[in-house]
Amino acid sequence: MTRGTVHLAVYDTYADWETGHTTAHLTQNGFTVKTVGLTTHPVTTMGGVRIQPDLALTDLDPADSQLLILTGAALWDTGDVLSPFATKARSFLDAGVPVAAICGATAGLAREGLLDDRAHTSAVPFYLAATGYKGSDHYVDTDAVTDGDLITAGPTEPVAFAREVFARLGVYEGEKLDAWYRLFHDSDPAAFEVLNA
């Protein structure tokens, strides 16, 4: 039984290590993960992996998704080529569909004005300040932040990022969510028994 579809944005220089925990455990818990690119032409991740997107961004409708995931990429900071993904994130949030952004994708959301009125985090405050955004008062210096339908995390926190996604989508809750985080973030062997009880 599927719990719905999650869309993972993919683009050249996509930081492929940032969403491995998230997509693997979503898939193991009944979600379908589909990749979305600017087009359906193949892209190459920062790790050199070639990915053929399942659909083009223009064909992505928030009504068909449970979540949009945006990862870091060198391209977020070298021009506007990825700005259509931030615009799509706005349409998701306007429709009440969650968006999860990590690393450089947070700067894309900042440029789009999506962090001006929401609690958020990123790599460091001055990284987002360089975008000229107006949300610095809402910056939280922590691993990952959820504010309603928006999840943000810094580049060194893929496990905390996954935890916030799982909490928002109800994949794991309470003790199991805590145990998942302790197992994958802290290597706590006692958490394995709780997670698999």
Q: Which residues participate in catalysis according to the annotation?
A: 103
Q: What is the pLDDT of residue 93?
A: 98
The ranges assigned to domains in the chain are 4-171
CATH code, residues 4-171 = 3.40.50.880
d(CA 101, CA 6): 13
The β-bridge partners of 50 are: 44
Per residue in 100-111, pLDDT (tens digit) is 999 999 999 999
| Residues in the chain with pLDDT values less than 70 | 1
Q: Within the chain, how many helices (H) and strands (E) appear?
A: 7, 9
Whether pTM > 0.85 for this model: the answer is yes
Q: What is the pLDDT of residue 197?
A: 83
The β-bridge partners of 4 are: 31
Buried b (16+ CB within 10 A) or exposed e, 122-159: bbeeebbeebebebeebbeeebbbbeebbbbbbbebbb
